[in-house]
């Protein structure tokens, strides 16, 4: 029983804002269970009237029947209402808590798998209200059983003792069974998480999985997990079979013996027929009530697994976040400077005394081999990490001194993979700015407006509804338009043209040449046609700046100038030449 109480306590620790409604659920369920004990009294009364040839007295008990059932269904309706209120609350509030926890703790995936988090957010939260429901029903079943045994003792102590011992044995066997079922239920969830985790990764990289023919080997790896799941599931079903096919047999043997004894009492005039009917009705209730209580305790054990999974995510302890200042100066010009910046992860030095300066109204390209530290520079500008030493300045002020509101309204960006939600174009843009005039303005600026208005639903077109409506390049243009809605002075672009067609790449280059008139543009790129439009270039190699300056000067040193002038689309390495 202690284990069940702990599960309930953990749920209240997750969120305890609806305690008054929980109390109402206990009260309504208690009254409903007491009301369910009343109809047998009316039944016994009718039989007593029949056996005494007092037909007119039957109507009194008929009226009682109606009153008893009005009370029963009225309290049941109240109980259903409290369940609905709690279901809405827990699903919405705990989902919000989980989303916020994951969104604000990038490193949580190092400790908790993505599959487990997805399963918890999508499945486990919807069962939280049932934890309360099971606790309420199990508690009220115990109360109901105590009342029934009290009635048995009033009529016959020996009968009460037999019924009590039978139920205690039944409870003991079933409770031990519940622990085993819960154990193997947790095992099945563990291996389900692993498979979902692999499936998520597979879907994120489906193109590579197909082109490299990984599916056969992936399927073999999944089969190992499937076999483990099958073992856990079989053991769970074995105990479930014992629970519902073997243990109840004991109860029915006991029930037969009890009924024989009651019949003996009636035959020997030691008990009246109406009392026999009453006690049989109540004993049948004890079986139903005990089964209901045991089912709820079993479910509570299973739900305890879900509660623990939710609580593990919400209790995730992460390293102390970066402290930001409170400078609310929103008049940022857009000069960006790195001064001897060092950054490391563990013992690995990623950036080593990196220094460069970037000016407004220019396109600045950061180029270098994969793993040289380019993306780290962008991530630092997003303030996702804190540097080990040196300074990162915007308008001669440390980036960590700006308030969040000011910083993120002045620094925005677009990533390699165009990220748009499967919702309407308008809704995607409204995540930043719901003003439709502003949305149209930025879409015109990136050259998307004419295409959007040509669609049957215009700005109400759902992205993803028809895969042929939006290419990857158009999604990237929409992502750029969305970043423009932030009114940011500094735009960060991380390989935004790496996965799109050449024509869209050229178009984005033209857009950036237009945007630099009122923005500071910093882009990571490996495409020659994008490098060619840069005003200034920073070349990174192994975490160090190995070249910087204006476009032509740096590229000549890298033996790339002629290639860039020809705007070739070949893949190249920016450090093949001598610097």
Alpha helices in 156-214 (DSSP H): 157-204, 206-211
pLDDT at 560 over 60: no
Average pLDDT of the segment spanning 543-555: 79
Average pLDDT of the segment spanning 76-89: 91
pLDDT for 579: 34
pLDDT in tens, 313-363: 888 876 555 667 778 777 888 899 999 999 988 888 899 999 999 999 999
Helix axes 273-314, 128-155, angle to 10 degrees: 150
Cα distance between residue 456 and residue 466, in whole Å: 12
Strand partners, 288: none
pLDDT for 570: 40
Say which residue, 111 or 448, is predicted with more confidence. 448
Cα distance between residue 528 and residue 526, in whole Å: 6
Edge-first strand order for the sheet with 490-494 is 411-414, 490-494, 520-524, 363-368, 536-541, 544-550
Measured CA distances, 567 to 505, 506, 562, 571 (Å): 11, 10, 9, 11
pLDDT for 191: 85
Cα distance between residue 436 and residue 78, in whole Å: 46
Mean pLDDT lowest among 274-283, 292-301, 319-328, 552-561: 552-561
Helix axes 215-241, 157-204, angle to 10 degrees: 180
Say which residue, 24 or 183, is predicted with more confidence. 24
Residue 273: CB atoms within 10 Å? 13
Confidence tier at 254 by pLDDT (50, 70, 90): confident
pLDDT at 176 over 50: yes
pLDDT at 462 over 50: yes
pLDDT at 567 over 60: no
Q: How many degrees, rounded to 5, is the angle at CA 377 between CA 578 and CA 208? A: 85
Most confident of 169-178, 513-522, 553-562: 513-522
Which residue, chain included where needed, has tokens 């237009």?
A: 514
pLDDT for 558: 63
Most confident of 52-61, 72-81, 506-515: 72-81
Q: Is 448 in contact with 528 (CB distance < 8 Å)?
A: no
Say which residue, 132 or 279, is predicted with more confidence. 132
pLDDT at 76 over 60: yes
Most confident of 68-72, 151-155, 402-406, 560-564: 68-72
Name the percent of the chain lying above pLDDT 70.
92
What does DSSP assign to residue 494? E
Confidence tier at 575 by pLDDT (50, 70, 90): very low
pLDDT at 497 over 50: yes
pLDDT for 406: 87
Cβ-in-10-Å burial (0-12, 13-18, 19+) of 410 comes to buried
| 340: alpha, beta or left? (left if phi > 0; alpha if psi -120 to 50) | left
Largest CA distance in the chain: 117
Average pLDDT of the segment spanning 24-42: 89
pLDDT for 28: 93
pLDDT for 26: 92
Confidence tier at 180 by pLDDT (50, 70, 90): confident
pLDDT in tens, 87-141: 888 888 888 888 888 877 767 877 787 778 888 888 888 888 888 898 898 888 8
Edge-first strand order for the sheet with 348-358 is 348-358, 336-345, 389-394, 397-398
Say which residue, 46 or 492, is predicted with more confidence. 492
Name all contacts of 565-574 with Cβ < 8 Å and 24+ positions apart. 565/532, 567/528, 567/529, 567/532, 568/528, 568/529, 569/502, 569/527, 569/528, 569/529, 570/528, 571/526, 572/526, 572/528, 573/369, 574/367, 574/368, 574/369, 574/526, 574/531, 574/539
pLDDT for 576: 38
pLDDT for 440: 94
pLDDT at 56 over 70: yes
pLDDT at 417 over 90: no
Measured CA distances, 501 to 207, 454, 523 (Å): 17, 22, 18
Q: What is the mean pLDDT of the chain?
A: 83
Kindly report the backbone phi and psi dihedral angles of residue 23, in degrees, each rounded to the nearest multiple of 5, phi listed first.
-60, -40
Cα distance between residue 18 and residue 136, in whole Å: 15
């Amino acid at each position: 029983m202690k284990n069940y109480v702990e599960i309930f306590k953990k749920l209240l620790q997750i969120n305890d804002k609806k305690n008054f409604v929980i109390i109402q659920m206990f009260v309504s369920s208690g009254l409903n269970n007491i009301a369910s004990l009343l109809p047998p009294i009316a039944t016994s009364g009718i039989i007593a009237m029949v056996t005494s040839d007092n037909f007119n007295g039957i109507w009194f008990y008929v009226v009682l029947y109606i009153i008893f059932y009005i009370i029963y269904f009225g309290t049941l309706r109240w109980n259903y209402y409290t369940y609905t209120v709690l279901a809405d609350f827990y699903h919405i509030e705990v989902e919000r808590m989980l989303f916020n926890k994951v969104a604000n703790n990038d490193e949580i995936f190092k400790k908790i798998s993505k599959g487990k988090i997805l399963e918890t957010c999508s499945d486990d939260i919807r069962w939280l209200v049932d934890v309360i429901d099971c606790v309420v029903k199990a508690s009220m079943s115990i109360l109901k059983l105590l009342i029934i045994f009290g009635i048995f003792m009033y009529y016959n102590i020996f009968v009460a003792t037999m019924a009590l011992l039978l139920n205690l044995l039944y409870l003991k066997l079933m409770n031990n069974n519940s622990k085993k079922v819960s154990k193997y239920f947790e095992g099945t969830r563990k291996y389900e998480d692993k498979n979902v985790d692999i499936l998520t990764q597979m879907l994120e990289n489906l193109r590579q999985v197909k082109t490299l023919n990984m599916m056969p080997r992936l399927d073999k790896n999944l089969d190992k997990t499937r076999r483990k799941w099958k073992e856990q599931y079989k053991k769970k079903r074995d105990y479930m079979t014992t629970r519902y096919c073997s243990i109840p047999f004991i109860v029915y043997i006991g029930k037969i013996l009890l009924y024989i004894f009651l019949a003996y009492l009636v035959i020997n005039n030691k008990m009246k027929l109406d009392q026999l009917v009453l006690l049989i009705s109540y004993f049948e209730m004890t079986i139903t009530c005990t089964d209901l209580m045991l089912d709820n305790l079993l479910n509570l054990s299973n739900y305890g697994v879900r509660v623990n999974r939710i609580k593990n995510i919400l209790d995730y302890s992460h390293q102390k976040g970066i402290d930001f200042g409170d400078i609310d100066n929103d008049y940022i010009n857009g000069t960006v400077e790195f001064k001897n910046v060092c950054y490391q992860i563990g013992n690995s030095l990623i950036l080593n005394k990196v220094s460069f300066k970037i000016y407004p109204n220019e396109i600045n390209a950061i180029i270098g081999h994969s793993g040289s530290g380019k993306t780290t520079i962008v991530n630092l500008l997003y303030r996702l990490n804190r540097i080990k030493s040196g300074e990162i300045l915007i308008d001669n002020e440390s980036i960590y001194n700006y308030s969040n509101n000011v910083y993120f309204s002045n620094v925005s960006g677009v990533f390699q993979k165009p990220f748009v939600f499967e919702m309407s174009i308008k809704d995607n843009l409204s995540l930043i700015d719901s003003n439709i005039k502003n949305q149209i303005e930025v879409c015109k600026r990136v050259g998307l407006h004419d295409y959007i208005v040509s669609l049957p639903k215009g700005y109400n077109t759902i992205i993803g509804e028809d895969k042929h409506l939006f290419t990857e390049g158009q999604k990237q243009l929409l992502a750029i338009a969305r970043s423009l809605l932030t009114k940011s002075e500094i735009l960060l672009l991380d390989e935004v043209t790496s996965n799109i067609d050449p024509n869209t790449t050229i178009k984005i280059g033209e857009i950036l040449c237009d945007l630099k008139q009122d923005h500071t543009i910093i882009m990571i790129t490996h495409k020659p046609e994008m490098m060619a439009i840069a005003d200034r270039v920073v070349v990174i190699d192994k975490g160090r700046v190995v070249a910087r300056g204006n476009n032509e000067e740096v590229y000549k040193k890298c033996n790339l100038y002629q290639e860039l002038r020809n705007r070739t689309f070949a893949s190249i390495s920016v450090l093949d030449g001598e610097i």
